[in-house]
Amino acid sequence: MTRHTFLQIQEETVLAPDGGRCLMTHVYGTDEGLPPVVYLPGMFTGRGFWLSPKGIGLAAHLAKAGFPGIIVERREQGCGARPGLEEHLQHDLPLVQQRVEARWRRPAFWVGHSFGGVLAARAVAGPLDMDRVAGLVLFAAQFEVGKRPLHPPLSWLTAATARLLDRFPARRLGLGPQDEPVAAMLDAIRLVTRGRRHPELGQALSRITVPALGISGLGDRVDPTEGCERLLAHFASSDKRFIAAGTETGFSEDYDHPGIVVSKAAQQEIWPLVTDWLMVHSRSTISSSRPNGS
């Protein structure tokens, strides 16, 4: 266990029935009185997006406020099973929910950035027990606008590059600190292509009824605000809020793709918004955290 002043950080490996493994990082503060928060990173990144080696990040901020965190990293190449997004969605995330439920006995909030946000939404709409989800917080998450490298014809080049190198070279291309397995890239291409061409994904997302907060940066050229707003529009939730963060909406800057979470400005403007939203929506989890609802 690693300690950073008020933080305790502990790693746990989750082994899925198909042989896949993913890493969970538990982030505890001095007070764990509030519901847990599950964090899903986007493509080309991992735990460091939510928690830096120095103990800085949204997960640390919320842990200090009383929300214990669980950062879930996707499968890696050579993990013993196909390291795809679909396997992570269908096998790993339900196990994560079971572990969280066993530990805290209350619904958890699920938070995702970029493709991590899309996966979080798909999980809530599908393999997760939605009754045990307190709410969704999605940063820069969408599949319907832009993303040209994941949609034909450029997706053919993306897939060919990944297959040729036996990984997608995100680090070499300056896209992020982590390369992606071939299976994950192929699944991302399928998700974007099918999500745009067929109605099934939108129909699945329409099953979501939990409270949802969507946040997009007006300076984001990777996942534009238009697409992020569309993602939230699919939900059937009666309690949902969308924030487009930029100078024209009263923020200090037009936030870009990573900056909506990791920038110094986000620490001052975005993190408090998320904290307040979670605090308000934590009240409804109190009764459901009691055994048998009593």
Provide the token pair at 40: 């899903």
* Region 97-112 average pLDDT: 96
214-to-136, 268, 278 alpha-carbon distances in Å: 8, 18, 13
Q: What is the mean pLDDT of the chain?
A: 93
Environment class of 267 (CB within 10 Å of its CB; exposed 0-12, middle 13-18, buried 19+) = middle
For 165-210, give the DSSP string: HTSB-TTTTTS-SS-B-HHHHHHHHHHHHHHHH-SHHHHHHTT--S
Q: What is the pLDDT of residue 33?
A: 85
Mean of pLDDT values over 246-257: 98
20, 81 in Cβ contact below 8 A? yes
Of the pLDDT bands very low, low, confident and very high (cuts 50, 70, 90), residue 32 is confident
Query: Selecting from 3.40.50.150, 3.40.50.1820, 3.90.550.10, 3.40.50.970, what CATH number does the domain 2-144+201-285 have?
Result: 3.40.50.1820
**Confidence (pLDDT) at 78:** 78
- Write the pLDDT tens digit of every residue in 149-164: 999 999 999 999 999 9
End-to-end, the C-alpha distance of the chain in Å comes to 35
If phi over 0 gives left and psi between -120 and 50 gives alpha, with beta otherwise, what is residue 293?
left
Residue 231's contacts (CB-CB under 8 Å, 6 or more residues apart) are 117, 118, 121, 138, 141, 142, 143, 144, 205, 214
**Could you read off the pLDDT of 49-84 as tens digits, one per residue?**
999 999 999 999 999 999 999 999 999 887 789 999
Query: SS3 for 128?
Result: coil
Residue 30: band (very low, low, confident or very high) from pLDDT cuts 50, 70, 90? confident
